[in-house]
Amino acid sequence: MDDIDRALVAALVADARTSYADLARGVGLSSPSVLERVRRLERSGVLRGFTAVVDSAQLGLGVSALVAVHQREDAEQEDLALDLAAVPEVEDCWSVAGEEAFVVKVRVADVDALEATLGVLRRIPSVARTRTTVVLSSRFEGRRRVPQAGDPGD
């Protein structure tokens, strides 16, 4: 990735609906050149898709929780990951270092729905136990950072 690719990614992260003409003006290239670069970034997996950002509470999902999932010793991590993916209320799933195998983010309508979802998670055969932290408020979510050339790890 060069500086132009980084600028394109940053612009699309800020507003995925930016037109190719506006992107082209922003980076000093023609629209066809920008289109080809964006397609290349998609093919290489840098850009994995474009999505709408929604207000979960407006959709009736007013309760969020982070659930640490402890795996049974005789269980396979990939099997557990597949079982977690099958629970619709699980929005994100991270494999983590530490005592737990995964931390998942759950979004539900209310505390009763959270209790029901925790029951579903606890009944997964690979789950030994869970530990839940209810989110009281969100200061920000989904922040994406586009590293610049020369940043550590670049």
Candidates 1, 17, 16, 8; CA nearest to 35 is 8
Rounded CA separation 150/24 (Å)? 24
Tokens describing residue 140: 């920000």
Please name each of the domains of the chain with its CATH number: 3-43 (1.10.10.10), 56-135 (3.30.70.920)
pLDDT of residue 153: 63
Read off the pLDDT of residues 56-77 as tens digits, 9 standing for 90 and up. 999 999 999 999 999 999 999 9
Candidates 43, 21, 49; CA nearest to 33 is 21
Query: Is the pLDDT at 154 greater than 80, yes or no?
Result: no
* pTM, full prediction: 0.81
Dihedral angle computed from the Cα positions of residues 83, 87, 92 and 95, in that order, rounded to the nearest 10 degrees: -20
Tokens describing residue 24: 């082209």
Q: Do the beta carbons of residue 61 and residue 107 sit within 8 Å?
A: yes
